[in-house]
Amino acid sequence: MKNDNMRQAIDSELRGLRVSDSLRRRVLDGAADEKVIALPQRRPRLRVALAAACAAVMLLATVAVAAANRWGVLDFFGNSAKPLIAADGADAYVQTNLGEARCEDLVITLRELAFDGKGVRYVLDAEPAREGVWLYSDWTDWTEEQLARPGRVELPVSFAELDCPDYDGHVVDVEPTENGLSFYEEGWIDGDFADSLSGVVRLGELEVPFAVQAAPAQVYRLTPSRESDYIDILDITLTHTPMANYLRVSYREKPLDGDAFAIDGDATYYTLENGTFFHADRLCGGMENALPMTGAELKATDKRPCPLCLAKDGPNTSYWNFCLLDEAGEPLNSAGGSGGPLDGDIRESTEVMQRTEPRAAWTVRVKDWSQAVEDIPCEAVAVDKKMP
Amino acid sequence: MILHPAPDRETRRPDLEAMVSQYGDGLLRMCFLYLKDVSLAEDAVQETFAAAWAKYDSFAGRSSEKTWLTAIAANICRNMLKSAWRRHTVGPEALETLSVSDPDLPDPTVTRAVLALPPALREVVVLHYYRGLKTGAIATMLKLPRPTVSSRLARAKKKLRDELKEWYFDEE
């Protein structure tokens, strides 16, 4: 993908996001405000809801207390906008003091790491290796008082990074300690659940190797009570761990029926020689070198209508996602997920859900990213228990 | 307090309006990709233009106006991300804050993939691929070594290639 292609694709996808008249007025009126001109970086947010402002105050207070006690992996769980909630006793599966590395200025310690077969969460402490200095990272809130302290040593990187096969990190956080920083990261490994994990956590040039066993997990197979209207569901598993629920759905898009998109034999469409789709828009998705083709010619091929520019009525996406509904019918928070090709046309989506106790029956909600399209009741049967 | 000479509002207001018309949408989308929230992105755009207005006299024309505004917006977004209650990132559900029910809007596949990147990678992708900045300019803007920017771009490209496979990459 070239720069222009991505820019065009994003502009196309976000074309509904434009400067509104009210924002334009805010900009022009705000620029005329002397206070804005005097303090452009410090003006209050205009649209922060009161609740959010209160939450921020409470969070800052919590941060201050927690900083004194050193936040652990499980402390960071509840600090998200859509928090995971670890099980009681989950701390038994948090592995501690996994190793350290140092250089002249800095000593890093992999203080805690929790791995439940899928999710990886760790806290790495960075502390000065000598007296009289303190560590600075530009992604952290610092008070004027803190910034005025002498002995500032700027870290070469903004985040710690975990490096192991198939790891994909999503959530990061940094908390200041007295003279150093605690880095938190949360992510997931692609593919199957693993019994163990090894890799390194890196901060700049320093790295700490680790090898850990997974926390126990209980796997359930969910059997849908009916077929989906939109996709062929091949398999649903729900894995309970002390840290989260993981909902994995393997599915295949249903073949388009004849009425879904009627090819006009006289119309001109565009396609690439080896492309999967045909398009109404010659530049759809930023593609280049598309060739015109009549509808009549297209009917002799197995090309499919582009989900972008020839979307049929109703939901149409190659990437579906899923969530569980709680007993009140509300979706359990989704903390992230992944989708993508697995094998041919079979796709797999793994969603990280708020942890709950196992149940005999669940409702799985099918979403096309932006909206729920159907709810499917499922029966849950325990199939596998993985012990550390 | 930062003191600036009082600008000539009567002569500059038309410039500001022109700047909003020319760069506003792109900046708004860039800020959304940074912040994953439409309201915050609008705040960031407002702050960007306020800062640009205030600092216009110091704009020496060493870069294009677009690059200059991008740098201001990136700085403001970074500051917003640093705030304690915004530091956590969320997944592609950020798109739910957009009005994507419009049937004329395409599936946000590329946007979704970019939003799913870790912040450090997302930042360089937004600046390089979406705003069109060279790695040297990004390195200067973010105060990072140039190899770090290049390395982050390479890692981001790998993730995007995996994520967008069979959607865009097979159409090249």
Does B1 reside within a domain? no
Does B69 reside within a domain? yes
Which of A100, A125, A119, A120 is closest to A183 using CA atoms? A125
Chain A interface includes B107 (CB < 8 A): yes
Geometric angle at alpha carbon A144, from A143 and A149, rounded to 5°: 100
Distance from CA of B62 to the nearest CA of A (A): 22
- pLDDT above 70 for A210: yes
- pLDDT above 60 for A27: yes
Residue-range domains of chain A with CATH: 71-215 (2.60.40.1630), 218-254+316-386 (2.60.40), 268-305 (no CATH)
- pLDDT above 50 for A50: no
Does B3 reside within a domain? no
pLDDT band at residue A353 under the 50/70/90 scheme: confident
More confident residue, B119 or A119: A119
Asked if B88's CB is within 8 angstroms of A173's CB, the reply is yes
Domain count, chain B: 1
Does B19 reside within a domain? yes
**Cα distance between the two ends of chain A:** 43
- pLDDT above 80 for A358: yes
Chain A interface includes B2 (CB < 8 A): yes
pLDDT in tens, A317-350: 445 678 899 888 888 865 444 444 444 567 777 7
ipTM over 0.95: no
Comparing alpha-carbon positions, the chain B residue that sits nearest to A345 is: B166
Q: How far apart are CA A274 and CA A228, in angstroms?
A: 31
Sign of the Cα pseudo-torsion (B26, B162, A286, B91, in order)? negative
Place of tokens 């209650």: B85
Does B2 reside within a domain? no
Q: How far apart are CA B94 and CA B36, in angstroms?
A: 5
- pLDDT above 50 for B136: yes
User: CATH number for the domain including B47?
Assistant: 1.20.140.160
How confident is the model over A299-315, as a mean pLDDT? 64
Does B9 reside within a domain? no
Asked if A159's CB is within 8 angstroms of B120's CB, the reply is yes
Does B7 reside within a domain? no
Chain A interface includes B159 (CB < 8 A): yes
Asked if A7's CB is within 8 angstroms of B129's CB, the reply is yes
Identify which of B54, B164, B169 has the shortest CB distance to residue A40: B54
In which domain, by residue range, is B40 found?
A: 15-171
How confident is the model over B76-102, as a mean pLDDT? 54
Amino acid identity, residue A183? F
Does B135 reside within a domain? yes
**Cα distance between the two ends of chain B:** 52
Mutate to test the interface with A, among B20, B32, B93, B115 (most CBs of A within 10 A): B93
Q: Across the strands, what pairs with A109? A: A100, A125
Amino acid identity, residue B146? R
